[in-house]
Amino acid sequence: MEKNNNLTEILKHFNISISPDSYGNGHINDTYIVKTNPGYILQRINTNVFKDPVSVMENIKAVTEHLRAKILAAGGNPERETLNLIDTIDGKPYYVDDNGDYYRMYIFIEGAKSYDIVENPRQLYNAAKSFGNFQNMLSDFPAENLHEVIPNFHNTVSRYADFKKSVEDDVAGRAELVKDEIKFVLDREPDASVVVNDIENGKIPLRVTHNDTKLNNVLLDSVSGEGICVIDLDTVMPGSLLYDFGDALRFGGSSGAEDERNLDNIWFDLEKYEYFTKGFIETLPSITARELELLPFSVKLMTLECGSRFLADYLNGDVYFKTHCEDHNIVRARTQFKLVADIENKMDEMNAITMRIYNGIYR
């Protein structure tokens, strides 16, 4: 974290003369609050994660300007319903200091908060409405114009190739210990190509994808609890809404923590699935028939992808994900695979829930 006097100098480039305070508990970027009226959020972009911060900022600027226009046209409040970048005195959406660090500033959204864990299913419903509305407002945005800031982020075919290489190389000498888990992933390789092929063949549209649809990336109104604004747009890229839907429920639909050791405590919660799916579909009239059909499958796919990444990192010697013990990544992988197996058992029910919700809204 920078000293406040350095940050005060940086803020002058945004035409602000006040010292900021540290804010939030994000794991990627350094975040500060500027307590003025209105308030502002200052962030230092983590260039170890985002190697091309200019592309990140170009994506964010293009998407938020599109959202702002849509919100205004609908009679909404764009100061509250989307992130709003503040330009520097040089007219740029970011400032680069003498050390090569990149900073950006947003208007602070008052009267709202985010939650790290699901306290009640209604929160999932309200978050899902925000994610669905985000997708719907961007359904006419030319997604191919966005930069791919993390190449192949949800390209499951590419992820499988990476996984198989980690098994073959076995750099940490652990493959013999996890033969069952390796087989679990390899047995499901045909799943990897479904969404990727459908995008390539035009069966599902290329869309703007958030790529980090956890509950804490939606601001909920402090009084009503309704979703206000989707935040943390660093990973906005071209992709499929199935990635966002599936990943949201990989996390939000689980009965337990990502690193729960007792697998008896892990299952996929159909009540949470129903709440999230209802909110998502309600605000997404632009969803296509094929996307609708693949919603339940996408939860399995994104959970399998995540588990395979944990397992690959375990085989590679724990070089990507932060771990707190030697078996942390394999514990995480087993949790994801338990969810995958449970999702497979409940797929018919998930399909039925999805169609009942859709027909109840649109037919």
What are the pLDDT digits (tens) for 293-306? 999 999 999 999 99
The per-residue pLDDT for 327 is 96
The per-residue pLDDT for 49 is 84
* Secondary structure letter of residue 220 according to DSSP: E
Residue found under tokens 């990943």: 247
Residue 187 backbone phi and psi in degrees, to 5: -65, -20
Residue 283 backbone phi and psi in degrees, to 5: -105, 15
Q: Give the mean pLDDT of the chain.
A: 94
The per-residue pLDDT for 1 is 45
Residue 31 backbone phi and psi in degrees, to 5: -125, 140
Q: Are 171 and 317 in contact (CB under 8 A)?
A: yes
Residue 322 identity (one-letter amino acid):
K
The per-residue pLDDT for 3 is 47
The per-residue pLDDT for 22 is 85
The 3 state secondary structure assigned to 30-86 is EEEEECCCCCEEEEECCCCCCCCHHHHHHHHHHHHHHHHHHHHHCCCCHHHHCCCEC
Assigned token pair, 178: 């996890």
Residue found under tokens 């980690």: 166
What are the pLDDT digits (tens) for 181-234? 999 999 999 999 999 999 999 999 999 999 999 999 999 999 999 999 999 999
The per-residue pLDDT for 15 is 94
The per-residue pLDDT for 129 is 97
What are the pLDDT digits (tens) for 1-57? 454 558 999 999 999 988 888 886 665 788 999 999 889 999 999 998 899 999 999
- Average pLDDT in the 54-83 region? 97
- Average pLDDT in the 257-270 region? 96
For residue 349, the surrounding DSSP H or E stretch is: helix 347-362
Domains of the chain: 4-110 (3.30.200.20), 121-362 (3.90.1200.10)
For residue 342, pLDDT over 80 is answered with yes
Instruction: List 149's β-bridge partners, or say none.
Output: none
Question: Is 164 strand, coil or helix?
Answer: helix
For residue 275, pLDDT over 60 is answered with yes
> Which of the four pLDDT bands, split at 50, 70 and 90, describes residue 363?
confident
> Which of the four pLDDT bands, split at 50, 70 and 90, describes residue 324?
very high
- Can you tell me the distance from the alpha carbon of 155 to that of 198, in angstroms, rounded to the nearest whole number? 12
The per-residue pLDDT for 38 is 87
Assigned token pair, 126: 């309200």
Instruction: List 105's β-bridge partners, or say none.
Output: 42
Question: What number of H helices and E strands is found in the chain?
Answer: 12, 10
For residue 106, pLDDT over 70 is answered with yes
